[in-house]
Structure 1
């Protein structure tokens, strides 16, 4: 949880925690604006970068959305967009 709150991807964690809708279709550029830095090249090249980690633990970027109570859905690599969906009971 501390990684999600204070780590590199903490701005995404906080943004999603404060988001008032149940779904957010975001472009990679919008996510970069929230983060304040460019996503790694692997986010644009490898769809698995956007995978939900679940109970497997995992990468700090996935922990950011999962600990905030969200999962990724509808990743469109060509459009550079992803849909985040709030999951009640997931996260903090």
Structure 2
């Protein structure tokens, strides 16, 4: 398999993550997150069957990697 000389950039971008504070998320959304988003890590699961809010990040090609309840959420590119 041959790789483009630009493959390192593709590889880097696939590994980039973004961490948003709850305040930043609420500013983007335009409303306050529900209490369960502050109290339960399960609210952030990458499962659209039980957590329809997951559609917002999964449809954009991201998944939740880590949650610090009430503080911040880290998203990474979903390579599945």
TM-score (norm 1): 0.63
Q: Is the 8 A contact 1:74 1:82 kept in 2?
A: yes
Query: Unaligned 5+ residue runs, structure 1?
Result: 1-20
Q: Is the 8 A contact 1:75 1:83 kept in 2?
A: yes
The structure where helix makes up a greater share of residues is 1
Query: Unaligned 5+ residue runs, structure 2?
Result: 1-14
Q: Is the 8 A contact 1:72 1:85 kept in 2?
A: yes
Tell me which stretches of 4 or more aligned residues in structure 1 moved more than 6 Å. Answer: none
Highest Rg: 1 or 2?
2
What is the RMSD of the two structures over their aligned residues, measured on CA atoms? 1.9
The answer to whether the aligner puts 1:69 opposite 2:56 as a matched pair is no
SS of corresponding position for 1:31: helix
1:41-80 equivalence runs, <5 A: 41-53=35-47, 57-77=49-69, 80=71
TM-score (norm 2): 0.72
Instruction: Please report how far the alpha carbon of residue 85 of structure 1 lies from its aligned counterpart in structure 2 after TM superposition.
Output: 0.5
1:13-92 equivalence runs, <5 A: 22-53=16-47, 57-77=49-69, 80-88=71-79
